[in-house]
A = this chain, B = another copy of it.
Amino acid sequence: MKRNTWQREAVREALGSNEGFVSAQSLHSTLRDTGSPIGLATVYRALADLAVEGEADSLQSLEGESLYRACTQGQHHHHLICRNCGLTVEIEADAVELWAQSVASEHGFTQANHVVDVFGLCAECTVQTRLAR
């Protein structure tokens, strides 16, 4: 049976107190910095579990790293992510869902799923970038 440990709870909370997507490594650093002696492997395991259970969203960064975020919405949705600061907006788009489904079936594909992420610079980071040069 599944057991409750302070480690899983610590990961859940650290994830929840974070605005955007974070990597397992960075979350582990954060936890360590706050005095938690949690192990890296445990963070990886907890995040994978949370993702399976639907308590966390996960995606691959453009560089191929796995990133996680506390999932607030229960239903299927996508994300608009700031490349600079990680700020994330959850977005729903039935039109895109229908499109993906029909594109697949039109070509005889079954068991279709899709990856839809929008990346950009959030308003704040856009200003900062302009000032920097």
Residues in chain B near residue A82, CB distance under 8 A: 109
Q: Is the CB of A118 within 8 A of B112?
A: yes
Q: Does A41 contact B (CB under 8 A)?
A: no
Question: On chain A, which size bracket covers the interface?
Answer: 35 or more
When distances are taken between beta carbons in the complex, the residues of chain B under 8 Å from A91 are 103
A-B contact pairs, 27 of them (CB 8 A): A60-B60, A60-B62, A60-B64, A62-B115, A80-B104, A83-B111, A93-B99, A93-B103, A95-B95, A95-B99, A104-B120, A107-B122, A108-B122, A108-B123, A108-B126, A109-B121, A109-B123, A110-B120, A110-B123, A110-B126, A111-B120, A111-B121, A112-B118, A112-B120, A114-B119, A115-B119, A116-B116
> Which residues from chain A sit less than 8 Å from chain B, CB to CB?
60, 62, 64-66, 80, 82-83, 89, 91, 93, 95-96, 99-100, 103-104, 107-123, 126
